[in-house]
Structure 1
């Protein structure tokens, strides 16, 4: 059945089981590729194949012209775990300066509402797609992120560093989506028609620089290992049998390896359907998951204008070389480590070098 987000207000015992399927390819027909991805076709096929008494939610992360993209993670956690808030407060819904797809499509709430996630995506240069990597980078906050931004005045690094060393922090920092399940189905073409009989790219002039015996991976599914292990690290169960890779379009020009070509590959489609059935059997048997203590569903961000004003003053001080006393930027200034006191913070290092 279609997802009803109001189900999230019900006790777990009374709401339907819910799955979220994500198409992770960057391609959409409403941008310069001009054609929809194979992962989108597989997402829709999976939605039809799963038990229809479940709530089946899905989202295509592909790039649509004029629509917000997934903003990158700012790595707040590397300053302090307490600066990384749950759900992410680096961006917000409807922001015009830094529009963010994850917030605009309520992805944090939808991940929270689902009992299980199905991630479908291609191999792009020995790894997951850019958009899947961006999404998972932004999900660092599900692993111990700060659920109360008021404690750090929205985004104050010094207050976050202090909170991380407080007795209160251990109670706040938990895996917010722990208990859910995830399955990963990734696919690739092993270089399409670009490889020669030795396993090297045909166009490559310096053949000695490319040793096929050293090419990653022994098991092609390992291209998605960072996403799988991040999930496991964060308390998301990823059974080994739900982490799968299959090849489609090997030896073909890319133009001959579209969704309409893929569906004629019986072996590939059979493998995908088998994975879907394994996914349904596992998550169905496991059942519904109780929500965490601090939910993304129903979350309303507190106002932060005054906090923004104070952070703006901090920014001005750093630009003139007077970072707050006792702060990390002040220590770096004094040690000559950052050379980042600049009036125009938007100017690139390359432009500054050329002045």
Structure 2
């Protein structure tokens, strides 16, 4: 059945089981690829095959021209775990300056509402697609993120560092989506007719530099290992049988291995349907997952204009080379580590290096 977000407010025994299926390819026909992805076709096939009494939510992360994109994680957690807020407050919905697809699609709430996730995507250069990696990077906050941004004045690094070292932090930091199930179906194009009999790309000018025996994975499903282990680290179960890889399109060009060609390739749909059925059995047996204490569903973003003004003053001080006393930027400046002052923060290091008017680093010999 179609998803009804209002069911997320009901007691657990009064709502249907809910699944979120995500197509993780970067391709969409409404951008320069001009053709929809196989991940999208698999996503829709899965939605039709799952039990009719379940709520089936799904989303295609492919890049649509003119639409917002998934913004990258700013790595707040590396400053302090308490600076990484749940759900992410680095960005927000309908933001003109930094439009973000995670918020515009309400993905934090939809991931929260689902009892299980099914992730479908290609292997791109021995790794997940860019959009899947971006999405999971932005989910670092589900693993211990700060659910109370008012304690750090929205985004104050010094307050976050202090909170992280306080006894209160132990109660706040938790796995916010723990208990759910995630499954991964990744696939590859089998070389796209680019690989020779010796396992090397045909167009290499220096074949000795490429040793096929040293390619990263014995099992190509391991390309999605970082996403799988992030889930497991965050208390989300990924059963080994629900983490699979399928290769198809061997000896075909990429143009001959589109979604419309899947039915012509023996075993592809049978393998995929087997994974979907295994997912349905496992998730059905697990049942519905209790909501966490701090939910993304129904989350009300607090106003933070005054806090932003204070952070803007902090920013101006750093540009002028006068960071807060006792802060990490002050310590780094004192030790001569980063040389990161100046009014124009958009100016790149490459521009500075090429500008004869720019002062050299203090420790550089003249």
Task: Please report how far the alpha carbon of residue 143 of structure 1 lies from its aligned counterpart in structure 2 after TM superposition.
Answer: 0.1
User: TM-score by structure 2 length?
Assistant: 0.97
RMSD across aligned positions (CA)? 0.5
After TM superposition, the runs of 4+ consecutive aligned structure 1 residues lying more than 3 A away are none
C-alpha distance in 1, partners of 2:30/2:308?
Answer: 36
State the match for 1:300 in structure 2.
300
C-alpha distance in 2, partners of 1:250/1:325?
Answer: 61
State the match for 1:21 in structure 2.
21
Tell me, yes or no, if the aligned pair for 1:82 and 1:164 is still in contact at 8 Å: yes
Tell me, yes or no, if the aligned pair for 1:189 and 1:251 is still in contact at 8 Å: no
Per-residue CA shift, 1:279-324, capped at 9, x if unaligned? 0000000100000000000001000000000000000000010011
C-alpha distance in 1, partners of 2:19/2:327?
Answer: 44
C-alpha distance in 2, partners of 1:33/1:280?
Answer: 32
C-alpha distance in 2, partners of 1:10/1:353?
Answer: 59
Indicate the SS of the match to 2:21.
strand
Task: Please report how far the alpha carbon of residue 264 of structure 1 lies from its aligned counterpart in structure 2 after TM superposition.
Answer: 2.0
Task: Please report how far the alpha carbon of residue 190 of structure 1 lies from its aligned counterpart in structure 2 after TM superposition.
Answer: 2.6
* Consecutive unaligned residues in structure 2, runs of 5 or more: 356-366
Summarize the alignment of residues 210-229 of structure 1 with structure 2, pairs less than 5 Å apart. 210-229=210-229
Summarize the alignment of residues 26-41 of structure 1 with structure 2, pairs less than 5 Å apart. 26-41=26-41
Summarize the alignment of residues 47-66 of structure 1 with structure 2, pairs less than 5 Å apart. 47-66=47-66
State the match for 1:136 in structure 2.
136
C-alpha distance in 2, partners of 1:290/1:196?
Answer: 52
State the match for 2:349 in structure 1.
349
C-alpha distance in 1, partners of 2:27/2:155?
Answer: 34
Indicate the SS of the match to 1:191.
coil
State the match for 2:362 in structure 1.
none
User: TM-score by structure 1 length?
Assistant: 1.00
Summarize the alignment of residues 103-122 of structure 1 with structure 2, pairs less than 5 Å apart. 103-122=103-122
C-alpha distance in 2, partners of 1:264/1:327?
Answer: 62
State the match for 1:79 in structure 2.
79
* Residue correspondences, number: 355
C-alpha distance in 1, partners of 2:47/2:147?
Answer: 32
C-alpha distance in 1, partners of 2:158/2:190?
Answer: 48
State the match for 2:209 in structure 1.
209
State the match for 1:189 in structure 2.
189
Task: Please report how far the alpha carbon of residue 189 of structure 1 lies from its aligned counterpart in structure 2 after TM superposition.
Answer: 1.4
C-alpha distance in 1, partners of 2:281/2:264?
Answer: 26
Task: Please report how far the alpha carbon of residue 274 of structure 1 lies from its aligned counterpart in structure 2 after TM superposition.
Answer: 0.2
Task: Please report how far the alpha carbon of residue 111 of structure 1 lies from its aligned counterpart in structure 2 after TM superposition.
Answer: 0.2
Per-residue CA shift, 1:317-345, capped at 9, x if unaligned? 00010011111001000100010011100
Per-residue CA shift, 1:183-237, capped at 9, x if unaligned? 0000001321000110000000100000000012101100000000000000000
* Consecutive unaligned residues in structure 1, runs of 5 or more: none
State the match for 2:275 in structure 1.
275
Is 2:151 aligned against 1:156?
A: no
C-alpha distance in 2, partners of 1:5/1:347?
Answer: 44
C-alpha distance in 1, partners of 2:169/2:264?
Answer: 54
State the match for 1:242 in structure 2.
242
